């Protein structure tokens, strides 16, 4: 669950939640904050963390490029009232995931991305996944397995799941994939070492991730990270 970032973003998120209804016409339920025109615009898809929901990250759009369209997806597995997950976690241990859960969630997310790109007039290389915590793990799971499906991924406070590590191929065998990694050094839920390990793994595979460490930040998204994320998206589509 996202804890804290700028007060303005939290207020904006509440406003969006009040004004935006849940959309159910695509393979996963979602919130949409999009331009009313039918122009081809870059599309961001937010993936929330364990135990959260589609309203958690949508307020970030107010700190990100205005020319983009934004969707925020509800994970497919319900935990309780207003709480969802992408895959099950065992006890208090690390988020290693279950193969069947990952397979099912990945298939649904890939189908969602393709349908959303068509509906909102975005080419696959102009679709960007931004995930927090378990959602960040899903950005790796989908983006690294099928790089042609998206133009970039941003993994915030996440890690590459063990089941994925042995199945990755060199970046030279795929279309270019932009990667942003952001992580607080004081994260007590998904340790910072998960970010550095992901960076090392991706660089060995000849990817060029943009890496950002946030000293003293816990399991949350800071104002500094939002600024860096905004800069990254602006660089991708000036």
Annotated active-site positions, please? Answer: 133, 187, 219
Question: What is the spatial distance between Cα 137 and Cα 145, in angstroms, rounded to a whole number?
Answer: 12
Cβ-based burial of 211 (10 A; exposed 0-12, middle 13-18, buried ≥19): middle
First-residue to last-residue Cα distance in the chain: 31
DSSP-assigned letters across all residues of 18-61 = HH-PPB-SSSS-EEEE--SS-----EEEEE--TTB-TTSSGGGG
Residue labelled with tokens 């890939």 = 110
* Strand locations in the chain (E): 30-33, 43-47, 69-73, 77-80, 83-85, 127-132, 152-156, 178-184, 210-214
Question: What is the spatial distance between Cα 64 and Cα 33, in angstroms, rounded to a whole number?
Answer: 12
User: Strand 178-184 vs strand 43-47: parallel, antiparallel, or unpaired?
Assistant: unpaired
């Amino acid at each position: 669950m996202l804890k804290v970032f700028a007060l303005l973003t939290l207020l904006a998120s509440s406003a969006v939640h009040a004004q935006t209804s849940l959309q159910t016409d695509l393979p996963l339920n979602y919130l949409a904050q999009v331009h009313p025109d039918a122009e081809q615009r870059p599309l961001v898809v937010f993936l929330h963390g364990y135990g959260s929901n589609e309203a958690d990250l949508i307020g970030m759009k107010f700190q990100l490029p205005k020319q983009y369209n934004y969707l925020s997806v509800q994970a497919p597995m319900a935990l309780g009232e207003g709480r969802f997950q992408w895959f099950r976690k065992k006890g208090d241990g690390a988020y290693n995931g279950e193969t069947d859960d990952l397979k099912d969630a990945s298939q649904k997310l890939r189908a969602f991305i393709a349908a959303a790109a068509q509906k909102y007039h975005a080419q696959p290389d102009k679709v960007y996944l931004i995930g927090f915590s378990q959602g960040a793990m899903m950005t790796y799971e989908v983006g690294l397995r099928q790089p042609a499906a998206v133009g970039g991924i941003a993994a915030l406070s996440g890690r590459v799941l063990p089941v994925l590590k042995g199945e990755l191929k060199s970046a030279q065998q795929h279309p270019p994939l932009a990667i942003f990694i952001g992580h607080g050094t004081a994260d007590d839920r998904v340790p910072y070492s998960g970010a550095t390990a992901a960076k090392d793994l991706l660089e060995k595979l000849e990817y060029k991730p943009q890496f950002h460490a946030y000293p003293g930040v816990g399991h949350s998204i800071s104002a500094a990270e939002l600024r860096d994320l905004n800069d990254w998206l602006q660089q991708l589509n000036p």
